[in-house]
Structure 1
Amino acid sequence: MGRQPTINRDRLLDLAEEIVRTEGAKALTIDALAKAAGISKGGVQYSFASKDQLVQALVERWTRQFDDMLEPDDQLTAPDRVHRYIGSMRASQQAMNAKMAGLMIGYLQEPGNLEEARNWYRGVFARLGGDAADLQAARVAFLAVEGLFLMRIAGLDEDGNWKAGLDDVEAVLRRMTETPKD
Structure 2
Amino acid sequence: MARPPHARDKVLQAYVALLLEGERGATMDAVAAQAGVSKGGLLYHFPSKDALAEAVLERFATVTADDLRAMRVAPEGAAKHFVRTSWQVDHELDPIYRAIVRLAQAGHAGALAAVDDLHRSWLAEIVAEVGDEAVARTIMLIGDGLYHQASMPGTWSRDTFAESLPDLLTLVDRLCGR
Q: Note the alpha carbon deviations across 1:57-103, whole angstroms, 9 max, x for none.
A: 335424532442341474436x5334434336415269858xx8476
Aligned partner of 1:111 among 109, 123, 144: 109
**Gaps in structure 2 of 5+ consecutive residues:** none
Which residue does 1:80 correspond to in 2? 77
Tell me the C-alpha RMSD between the 2 structures. Answer: 4.0
Normalising by structure 2, what TM-score?
0.66
Contact kept, 8 Å, 1:145 with 1:169, in 2: the verdict is no
Match of 1:162 among 146, 157, 168: 157
Task: Name the CA shift for 1:151/1:89 in 2 (closer, same or farther; >3 Å).
Answer: closer
1:39 and 1:162, CA in 2 relative to 1: closer, same or farther beyond 3 A?
same
Indicate conservation of the 8 Å contact 1:66/1:88, yes or no: no
Q: Counterpart of 2:44?
A: 46
Q: 1:59 and 1:146, CA in 2 relative to 1: closer, same or farther beyond 3 A?
A: farther
Letter in 2 for 1:84: H
Unaligned segments of structure 1, at least 5 residues: none
Corresponding residue of 2:173: 177
Contact persistence 1:145–1:166 (CA under 8 A)? no
The number of residue pairs the alignment matches comes to: 171
Task: Give the Cα separation in 2 of the matches to 1:95 and 1:170.
Answer: 23
Cα distance in structure 2, aligned partners of 1:103 and 1:133: 30
Letter of the 1:107 counterpart: A
More helix by share: 2
Q: Give the deviation of 1:105 after TM superposition.
A: 3.0
The offset of 1:129, in angstroms, is 1.4
Q: After TM superposition, list the pairs within 5 Å mapping 1:1-182 onto structure 2.
A: 3-6=1-4, 8-20=7-19, 24-25=21-22, 26-62=24-60, 64-72=62-70, 74-76=72-74, 80-85=77-82, 86-87=84-85, 89-92=87-90, 96=94, 101=98, 104-108=101-105, 109-130=107-128, 132=130, 139-150=137-148, 157-163=152-158, 164-165=160-161, 168=164, 171-177=167-173
What is the DSSP-based 3-state SS (H/G/I as helix, E as strand, rest coil) of the residue aligned with 2:155?
coil
C-alpha distance in 2 between matches for 1:47 and 1:121 = 30
Q: Cα deviations across residues 6-50 of structure 1 (Å, max 9, x unaligned)?
A: 3532222223334456xx224322112222334332331232232
